[in-house]
Amino acid sequence: MVQIGYTMMTEQAGPRDLVDHVVAAERAGFDFSVTSDHYFPWLAEQGHAPYAWSVLGAAAQATSRIPLMTYVTCPTVRYHPAVVAQKAATTQLLAEGRFRLGLGSGENLNEHVVGAGWPAAHVRLEMLEEAVEIIRALFAGGDVSHHGTHYDVENARLWDLPDELPPIGIAVSGERSCELAGRLGDLVIATEPKSELLDAFDRHGGSGKPRVGQLPVCFDTDRDAAVERAHEQFRWFGGGWKVNSELPGPAGFAGATRFVRPEDVADSIPCGSDVETFVEAVRPYAEAGFTEIALVQVGGEHQRPFIDWAEKTLLPALRDAL
């Protein structure tokens, strides 16, 4: 059975609202939840970027069943991996075993704020690999010192470790990241329904491990309003990883998407309230081999209507179809 998740998107809602939304999602019957970890929204129209880890701590206390997961945290520039390990262990304790640590090589949009520059893609993957090794060493307990190519750790230790360590997911977009995920990850993360990514993950040791995808949707009883909102807030989505990982701020994304039309966005994001349209948008992920699919409802002020509709209509339809 494919599991259907809910996304707390920090770019489009404030911290209290995000927690209220995931509480409602748990009540509605979503199987799991994920949260983005941004310092900036993609576009100014989205309007938010609270600290994801504070939100996760509050969500862990406000919910009792629904799993939590970062989708994804970059442990290389803005955060030192030793600090990510501490945050993840603490969140797992607060969530009583419901937390998974999703990691990725990040975007310039969020990482540039510490003034350390933005490395080339192959260097970012080297940094991610070293960061995962540090996090796993700290998860293993005891004192850790590390002097590597990109990071130094001096006599670090996690004093509060959960009995059940957070599984580590790694985001992929090509062969090199799939090799890294298959070798070092407990699960794989992707935002496109490409079976070739999962095949590569399997070749490198990922066979049998969970695979988590994500899909933006825009529910509204007025389809024209849904298309307009998706275009206003999510027209960046079609840029692809090679573009989206490089642009430094919302103004860059606004400029890069100025010629994207509403109909272009509606071609890739299901809009409106026709449940079959949403089911058919999710189906390629299931057919590609994803075991979990997190939905992102576009628009921070439009979460409750979506969650109510999902409970009554969308989730039953998806479970019947998939």
Among residues 31, 33, 127, the alpha carbon closest in space to that of 79 is found at 127
Q: Report CA-CA distances (Å) from 210 to 35, 77, 170, 217, 244.
A: 17, 27, 11, 23, 25
Give the residue numbers marked as catalytic: 38, 107
User: Scanning the structure block, which residue is given the tokens 């089911």?
Assistant: 279
Q: Report CA-CA distances (Å) from 55 to 68, 169, 270.
A: 11, 20, 28
Sequence-separated contacts (24+) of 266-270 with Cβ below 8 Å: 266/227, 266/230, 266/231, 268/237, 268/238, 269/216, 269/217, 269/218, 269/230, 269/234, 269/237, 269/298, 270/217, 270/218
CB atoms within 10 A of CB 42: 28
CB atoms within 10 A of CB 210: 17
Distance (Å, whole) CA 225 – CA 271: 9
Decide: 63 and 22 in contact? Cβ < 8 Å. yes
Distance (Å, whole) CA 160 – CA 177: 30
Report which residue type is found at 105.
S
Decide: 269 and 298 in contact? Cβ < 8 Å. yes
Helices 81-95 and 121-139 pack at an angle, to 10 degrees, of 50
